[in-house]
Amino acid sequence: MSEHLSEIRQRNNNKSAIFFLLPLMLIVGILLFYSIFFVIKNSFFDFDLSFREFRFVGLHNYSRLLTDPIFYKSIFNNVIFSLVIILAGVTLGFLFAVLLSTNIKGNRLLFAILFLPSIVPRALIATVFKEMLEYHSGTVNTVLSYLGMNVQDLTWLTDPGMAYFSVITVLVYMLGIPLLYYNAELTTIDSGIYESAQLDGANFITLITKIIFPLVKASHKTIVISTLLAMFRMFEVVFLLTSGGPGFTTEITGTYIYRFTRRGMDLGYVSAAATIILVIALCLSVVQIKLLYKSKKN
């Protein structure tokens, strides 16, 4: 192709690209990029929800934020809860997917039972669990005391340690998405591999851990990526179950920021917290992008 022709083509391409990208640029530009700019800029100001008066305070918001131990705690919990979700996904989710791909009866129904909790509203799951774990009339304590157990000390949502455990239980309960990914990928693998492995005398555990587990690498990766994304949308589980309590033990960044946002004032402080979380989120994205590009090369 001559240079002139390719130049015309390039210009044409630029024009077409604008058409294809305009909707994206509008929505993402106004709602995301502008928002990020807004948050960063106003983290140096003091303002409230009327947006009338912006008072410059320099780094004051940051110095307050970075001396608040609860802020660190909330980030720590975010990391822990993310790890729990990923861990539950690649162990239990994977195991269930394998077990459901055997010749047992009713595996469609069993799959649905394990998968559905992940797609019903999380607010619903959190609320049902809250009802179950309620100290006085909750199902769990009712059943346990019926069985003759002393439930005096079983304050599932108000004891710090137990509340933490309760949140984790709910997170593990929602392992449907990893289950789905594994389930989908398992069927794409040539079943001859399993047969020859079985013939070679590999036992069930070796077969699962040494042969099947490495084969579903794509799913592992997808689960890590989608969990990191979904993690930040997990706000409602903690918010509706424990509201970050008791005494901020189960606080995550979502509940931390939301509490201040709801107050409608001191929004510069919220913006500073949001800025730091956004920076972490950006780093996560960069890691994800790197992973994606690496897997593409292989």
Give, as ranges, the residues between 110 and 149 that touch another protein (CB under 8 A).
Answer: 110-117, 119-125, 127-132, 139
* N- to C-terminal Cα separation, the chain: 32
Q: Does 184 bind another protein (CB under 8 A)?
A: yes
Q: Does 56 bind another protein (CB under 8 A)?
A: no
In contact, 45 and 56? CB cutoff 8 Å = yes
Residues 251 and 244: their CA atoms lie apart, in Å, by: 4
Vertex 253 angle, CA 225 and 258, to 5°: 120
Scan residues 208-267 and list those touching another protein (CB under 8 A): 212, 218, 222, 226, 228-229, 232-233, 235-236, 239-240, 253-254, 257-258, 261, 267
When the beta carbons of 90 and 257 are compared against another protein, the nearer one is 257
Q: Does 36 bind another protein (CB under 8 A)?
A: yes
DSSP result, 179-214: HHHHHHHHTTS-THHHHHHHHTT--HHHIIIIIIHH
Q: Does 32 bind another protein (CB under 8 A)?
A: yes
When the beta carbons of 127 and 249 are compared against another protein, the nearer one is 127
In angstroms, give the least distance from the CB of 165 to another protein.
16
Binding residue (CB under 8 A) for another protein from 108, 148, 199, 297? 108
Binding residue (CB under 8 A) for another protein from 1, 24, 147, 199? 24
Which span (32-40, 53-61, 67-75, 158-166) binds another protein, by CB under 8 A? Answer: 32-40
Binding residue (CB under 8 A) for another protein from 17, 70, 83, 265? 17
Which residues are CB-neighbours of 76 under 8 A, at least 6 positions away? Answer: none
Residue type, 18: I
Q: How many CA atoms lie within 13 A of 255 on its CB side?
A: 26
Q: Nearest CA to 251 among 262, 264, 237?
A: 237
Q: How many CA atoms lie within 13 A of 169 on its CB side?
A: 17
In angstroms, give the least distance from the CB of 15 to another protein.
9
Binding residue (CB under 8 A) for another protein from 8, 66, 70, 289? 289
In contact, 160 and 247? CB cutoff 8 Å = yes
Scan residues 67-96 and list those touching another protein (CB under 8 A): 96
User: What are 63's two structure tokens?
Assistant: 């110095």
User: What are 207's two structure tokens?
Assistant: 């077969």
Binding residue (CB under 8 A) for another protein from 1, 3, 20, 147? 20
In angstroms, give the least distance from the CB of 161 to another protein.
22
- Burial label, 141 (beta-carbon count in 10 A; 0-12, 13-18, 19+): buried
In angstroms, give the least distance from the CB of 69 to another protein.
20
In angstroms, give the least distance from the CB of 196 to another protein.
13
Q: Does 8 bind another protein (CB under 8 A)?
A: no
